[in-house]
Every structure is written in C-alpha cells, then in structure tokens.
C-alpha cells in the first residue's frame, strides 16, 4: 500500500506572469499524477494548493498556511525572486523546503530551497559567450523593477566590461507596465549590438512587439543584426508574443521541440514545466528511500546520486542544492525554438566563483593608443 504524502503547490493563477506560473503548476501536477499512477512506487502525493493571485505579499502567507494547516513539508512554488525571498524566512521557521523551478539571478544558497532551474553560469554567462562574438559587446539592459532585473543586469554590466563593450543604456519598468515607447526611442538613439531583456510578463510582450515595429522602420534592429536576448523566455510565452519574437534568442536547460531528453511518455512544453516536473520526481525518489525526509536530510540524499528528470539524468549539488543542467541556446522560430548551441551538463556555480573572463571571451586585445 502506498503512503500518502501531502505536498504544497504555491503558484498564482492570475497576474502579470500567469503564463509562467501555469507552466510550472502544470509540470508539478503532471508529475504528481505520474508518481501516483506508478504501481511500483511507495508514495502517493496529495497536493495542497494556495493561490497568491499574483500578489508578492501573499507568497509568505501561502507558505505559512500550507505548513501550518497540512502535513506538507515540501512546497513546489514561487516564480519571482521577490516571492522566493519572501517565502524563505517562513520556511526556516516552519522547517519546510521550497522546490524552486525558475531561473534566478544567483548569489544565494538556502538550506530550505532546492534550485531546480538555471543559475547565472548556466544562463547569462553562456548566452553572452555566444552573443558577443557574433553581434558585438555593446548592450542595452532592460528589466522589470525588482530583484531579477537588478541583479541579472548587474552581472551583465560586468560581463560587458570584461568583453570590452559598453552599456548603451539600462532601464527598468514597474511590474506590468506596457508603455515601452521611451525604451524604444533610447534603443533607436544608442544603437546597441544587442538588448538583454529581463522584463517579465506583459511588459516583455509589449516591448518585443514594439521592437518588431522598430525593425520594420530600421533594418539595424532586425534580429540577425541586433537581437533581443533573454535568460527566462520559454515556449509558454511565445503565443503571447506572436511573430514579434521570431529570430530573437533565449537560453535555458530545455526546449520542447528540439530536446530529446526525458521520458518518451512525457515531453514538457517548456523548461519551467520541466523543472517543476523534475522537482516532484526528485522528491518522490528521495521519499521512496527515506519516507520522513525533510530539509536537513536533503544534502545526504543528493550526494553521489542521479535522478531521472525531463532534463535527463540529473545531479544536485549537496552543498548548494542547485541542479547540474544542460545549457541550450535557442532562436525563436514560429511557436518553438531552433537550437543553436548545446552543452550537455553544466555544474552550478551560483556565486560565479569559477568564472574566467578569458575562457568566456578570449584574451583581451591590446589597443594601440596614439
């Protein structure tokens, strides 16, 4: 007989980044269904859901309610870094673990978080290593006005300097803002080599559509000459962007159409869905061997073990609780991505302690000063 285990699900069903939340929730629930249907498994998950309704202040509340009103000690949830950081103190007090299925800006480790999506050396570093030699090192940095945008653009500024380029502009919009006219005019005037897009949700969709109109007016801004590049754009948002996305670039551990990893019976539609699915499957594997496993048991459970996930056979670092992941750079082509570059397994380095400027960009060129 299977042992019943409650598991928290903490995703918004509305708000500016609803499409990403929906993808994560779908991945988690599909994995729960798989675990429950496995005749050889010993665990049966019962989801305990809380909907923060797109309000960052309600993630801590939801986390507390799940921990206090159910037996769940593991929660799959949160999309933004803002919401994750709101939840961490609650997890620490309540002895819970958050399985986080979205890319993030790095420079964080918590005993109460398992980071199942990409950190900086698995997204922005390889993205810049691909983009700079092909398009140039002068970038324009965009972001929604919160942690992800601030911190990712901070790393980007350093990378652009290391590559010998300059930041042509850095601008932020409030979450959900869709008036992007000023951004477009600044990009038109400064003429960067690429735009790093850390806008999220409706702000990102509005910008990409406006940028496509700019490209119709000025060939300098066609994606083959000056692409918009992203560390968090996946298939789950392409329908909202439409043809405006064609030719632009994104990086992630998984793209649906081009990726053969994972079980043949389940192919996630995006890396968000894949990471949430992987979170539940890894947790199920751990609970199969250690039925009462909580946050303090995870490092031992991760040590010297591989887990089957949609990313392939996956390792989790016992010290930082970050996943080793593929790194795939894709170009938007219709409603999917065409793979341009792939690395099979990249170990996490959330603090960029192993970053080597020469390895990423080559040795700096000497300039003759008259």
Please give the residue range of the domain that contains residue 13: 3-118+259-324
Q: In terms of domains, do 169 and 264 share one?
A: no
Number of separate domains in the chain? 2
Measured from the Cβ of residue 40, the count of other Cβ atoms closer than 10 Å reads 5
Assess if residue 283 is contained within a domain: yes
Question: How many Cα atoms within 13 Å fall on the side-chain side of residue 226?
Answer: 24
* Nearest residue to 3 via CA among 278, 308, 289, 307: 289
Q: How confident is the model at residue 369 (pLDDT cuts 50, 70, 90)?
A: low
- Bridge partners (DSSP) of residue 250 are 230, 330
Assess if residue 370 is contained within a domain: no
Assess if residue 367 is contained within a domain: no
Q: How confident is the model at residue 370 (pLDDT cuts 50, 70, 90)?
A: low
Assess if residue 368 is contained within a domain: no
Report the pLDDT value the prediction gives residue 25, as an integer from 0 to 100. 98
Q: In terms of domains, do 130 and 244 share one?
A: yes
pLDDT tens, residue by residue, 236-266:
999 999 999 999 999 999 998 755 444 445 7
CATH number for the domain harbouring residue 68: 3.40.50.2300
Model confidence pTM above 0.85: yes
pLDDT tens, residue by residue, 188-199:
999 999 999 999
Report the pLDDT value the prediction gives residue 263, as an integer from 0 to 100. 45
Higher-pLDDT residue of 364, 69: 69
């Amino acid at each position: 007989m299977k042992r019943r285990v409650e598991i928290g699900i903490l995703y918004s069903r509305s708000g500016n980044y609803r499409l990403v939340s929906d993808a994560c929730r779908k991945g988690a629930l599909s994995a729960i269904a798989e675990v429950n249907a496995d005749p050889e498994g010993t665990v049966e998950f019962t989801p305990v859901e809380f909907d923060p309704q797109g309000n960052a202040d309600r993630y801590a509340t939801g986390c507390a309610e799940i921990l206090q009103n159910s037996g769940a000690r593991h929660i799959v949830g949160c999309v933004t870094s803002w919401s994750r950081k709101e939840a961490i103190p609650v997890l620490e007090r309540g002895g819970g673990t958050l399985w986080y299925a979205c890319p993030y800006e790095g420079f964080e480790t918590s005993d109460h978080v398992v980071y199942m999506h990409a950190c900086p050396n698995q997204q922005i570093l390889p993205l810049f290593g691909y983009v700079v030699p092909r398009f140039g090192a002068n970038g324009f940095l965009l972001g929604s006005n919160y942690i992800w945008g601030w911190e990712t653009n901070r790393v980007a500024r350093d990378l652009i300097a290391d590559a010998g380029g300059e930041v042509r502009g850095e601008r932020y919009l409030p979450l959900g803002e869709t008036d992007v006219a000023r951004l477009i005019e600044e990009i038109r005037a400064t003429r960067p080599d690429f735009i790093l897009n850390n806008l999220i949700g409706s702000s990102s969709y509005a910008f990409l559509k406006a940028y496509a109109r700019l490209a119709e007016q000025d060939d300098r801004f066609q994606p083959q000459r000056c692409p918009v590049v992203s560390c968090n754009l996946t298939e789950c948002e392409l329908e909202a962007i439409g043809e405006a996305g064609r030719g632009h670039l994104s990086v992630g551990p998984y793209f649906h159409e081009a990726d053969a990893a994972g079980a043949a019976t389940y192919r996630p539609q995006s890396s968000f869905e894949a990471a949430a699915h992987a979170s539940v499957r890894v947790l199920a594997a751990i609970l199969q061997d250690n039925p009462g496993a909580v946050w303090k048991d995870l490092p031992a459970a991760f040590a010297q073990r591989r887990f089957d996930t949609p990313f392939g056979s996956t390792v989790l670092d016992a010290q930082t609780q970050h996943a080793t992941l593929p790194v795939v750079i894709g170009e938007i082509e219709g409603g999917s991505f065409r793979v341009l570059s792939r690395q099979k397994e990249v170990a996490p380095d959330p603090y960029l302690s192993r970053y080597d400027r020469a390895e990423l960009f080559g040795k700096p060129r000497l300039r003759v000063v008259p």
